[in-house]
Structure 1
Amino acid sequence: EAERELRDEGSLRRRLAEAERQFEIGAITAEEYESIEDELLARLEKEES
């Protein structure tokens, strides 16, 4: 269940949006946001292929 959720496109997009919100309010640094973004986008690309 958890593994499938990690790969689910909608879940990945929600996690990306949440990371963006966290960055905007200063809860995470730009470097942390970029790391999260890179990981999630790589997973999205893998899902789409």
Structure 2
Amino acid sequence: MSEAVRPKKMTVDEFIEWAMNQPQRYELVDGEPVAMAPERVAHAEG
């Protein structure tokens, strides 16, 4: 039986470099980038 290949987890430095070039916001969770909800105007103004 074959084993599933797990992708390499990102380091914080790799994530920061990668995230700076993305059109939306992400957070790093257990070495994997996860898309965040868009910022709402009410939060941005407050």
TM-score (norm 2): 0.30
> Whose RCO is larger (CA < 8 A, sep 6+)?
1
Structure showing the higher helix proportion among its residues: 1
Greater CA radius of gyration, 1 or 2?
Answer: 2
Structure showing the higher strand proportion among its residues: 2
TM-score (norm 1): 0.29
